Amino acid sequence: MREFDIAKMFDHKNVLITGGLGFIGSTVARYLVQKSSARIVLVDSLIPDYGGNLFNINGIEERMHVNIADVRDENTMNNIVKKQDVIFNLAGTSSHVDSMKDPFTDLDINCRSQLSILEACRKHNPNVKIVFSGTRGEYGRADYLPVDEKHPLHPTDVNGINNMAGEWYHILYNNVYDIRATSLRLTNTYGPRHQMKHSKQGFLNWFIRLAMEDKEIPIYGDGAQKRDFNFVDDVAMALMIAAADDKANGRIYNLGTLEPVSVADIARMIIKELGQGRIKFVPFPEDKKRIEIWDFYSDYGKIKDELGWKPSTSLARGLKDTIRFYKNNKEHYW
């Protein structure tokens, strides 16, 4: 189905996006504003370093309501979920290292707050449809590749455990309370409007910043570990398809790409595109080595077969678009 047709399925719908000022949430909001008549509410705490950025909705801010609030505030969420037709539940923290240093904050945001949102829906809006953004971190180190949805879940860090719990709260509420919910297990998402202040939420965009500043890109070990990468527009489309299709209710889906790429090769692609920057191979820091997952890439065949989604943006094109965006808007992200 064409992007226009998917977006039109949200015409006249009330849509809530938690984490709505982040780069994935704002990308969903941009699609819906440009291609539908959806009535959109964004919720974001704008906590420093978490990725929320008002510039992410620059030019479309008058087309939606923005609520600066924390999803951990139960009273706020009880009110906001009322009368919503669809919730894209994207609020959360994604730093693996931070989750090990401060596990209780990770627990509050990625686990307890998810239960609070679902309870608010159960009490005040049981007819809503919810799409939750899970993570490949729920799997931990791969027992086999590519990783499909039948792969055992054995996370290597607190963030993966809490995301796993948050995801399964959604599936439980779907199965027990008939609150339509689905989860997409996202892999490495990159693209415009990602925060660029640190590397804790993904290394690809951080590599872009370092290369743009003509600095060394540190590669841990030999950089041969392979990953898969999804451009943010493709992820937004997957979220919208899952929200629009009730075949997804109670289901869990991997996202992914056809061709995994090594960490070192990603750095080389970025350096080649920018014509500057350089690689420096360094030993693994002990705290990162303990939670490293090594080779990991997902099998997205299930969502392709059941919902018709597949990635459409090549890594080469996605990198070009991402770099162009930051060249034009550097002052809003550095």
Fold of the 3-191+230-256+297-313 domain? Rossmann fold (3.40.50)
Look at the block and give the residue holding tokens 């590669």. Answer: 219
Rounded (10°) CA dihedral 273, 275, 281, 284: -50
Query: Which burial class, exposed, middle or buried, applies to 59 when counting CB atoms under 10 A from its CB (0-12, 13-18, 19+)?
Result: exposed
**Distance set, CA 83 to CA 102, 123, 124, 305 (Å):** 35, 12, 8, 32
Rounded (10°) CA dihedral 136, 137, 142, 147: -10
pLDDT, tens digit only, all 334 positions of the chain:
556 578 789 999 999 999 999 999 999 999 999 999 999 999 999 988 889 999 999 999 999 999 999 998 889 999 999 999 999 999 988 788 788 899 999 999 899 999 999 999 999 999 999 999 999 999 999 999 999 999 999 999 999 999 999 999 999 999 999 999 999 999 999 999 999 999 888 899 999 999 999 999 999 999 999 999 999 999 999 999 999 999 999 999 999 998 899 999 999 999 999 999 999 999 998 888 888 899 999 999 999 999 999 999 999 999 999 999 999 999 999 9
Closest CA to 203 of 227, 239, 175, 167: 227
Rounded (10°) CA dihedral 195, 315, 254, 110: -10
Look at the block and give the residue holding tokens 């539908």. Answer: 36
- Check residue 252 and report its DSSP letter: E
**What is the structure's pLDDT at 97?**
79
Q: Is the dihedral of CA 298, 302, 305, 311 positive or negative?
A: negative
- Check residue 10 and report its DSSP letter: T
Beta bridge partner(s), residue 15: 40, 86
Beta bridge partner(s), residue 65: 41
Contact criterion met (CB below 8 Å) for 22 and 50 = yes
Q: What amino acid is encoded at 281 in this protein?
A: F
pTM for this entry: 0.96
Domain boundaries, the chain: 3-191+230-256+297-313
